Amino acid sequence: MGYTRRKVRGIDFSFFFAALVFAGWSLYCLLSGQPRSFHGASTAGFILFGLAAVFFAAFPLIWARYPAKHPVHHELARYGKLSKMSARLDSEMSQSVEVLGPFRFTATLLVYDSGLEFQLVPYDQIVRAELATDEGASAIMVQTRGGRRYQWYRTWFQGNFNPAQVLEKISTAARLDSPANTTAADPSSA
């Protein structure tokens, strides 16, 4: 099984797991009568947790019906035909890959895989990468030729990584120091 299929299944499983947790809390509220803070609170808890369970379970079912809407497939289709990008990603992930926190550096692709998120940027599409600080949190900001901006924070939720080291690796892999990329990233030089 390739990396793409494992990632699709992983995201689907996480949504079904969240639905199972909310369904469990819904049943707990129904059977135990908790919480008892106001009249009908257990019914409200049962309904709210039940709706959350249905909400989380609906996404994998929708993605099964419309596979192009799945976040992994949507991200892959952004940079080319889905089948070709999926084969390219699977091929590159089966070879040597450098891992720095949630970042995977393949031969031609930058893959951000925090477990819950998946983003992919071909190195030839990156025109600028820089460090940014927002309210004290360090972040890596990447801009592509198409104008898309990616911003990854160093947090426990998005993954721990050394921002300076990741930025240096992105700059090297995308050859941002070369003169051709410097003029392409600077609109005033045109």
Of 55, 37, 150, the C-alpha closest to 103 is: 150
**Collapsing DSSP states into helix, strand and coil, what is residue 94?**
helix
Distance (Å, whole) CA 81 – CA 74: 10
Statement to judge: residues 67 and 105 lie in one domain = no
| 11 & 67 share domain | yes
Per-residue tokens: 28? 């707990």
Tens digits of pLDDT across the chain (190 residues): 699 999 999 999 999 999 999 999 999 998 988 887 778 888 999 999 999 999 999 999 999 999 999 999 999 999 999 999 999 999 999 998 999 999 999 999 999 998 778 999 999 999 999 998 777 778 899 999 999 999 998 888 778 888 889 999 999 999 888 766 554 555 444 4
Which tokens sit at 33? 């009568």
- Check whether residue 59 and residue 139 sit in a common domain: no
Predicted TM-score of the model (pTM): 0.79
Distance CA 173, CA 184 (A): 16
Are residues 113 and 181 located together in one domain of the fold? yes
- Find how far residue 35's CA is from the centre of its chain: 35
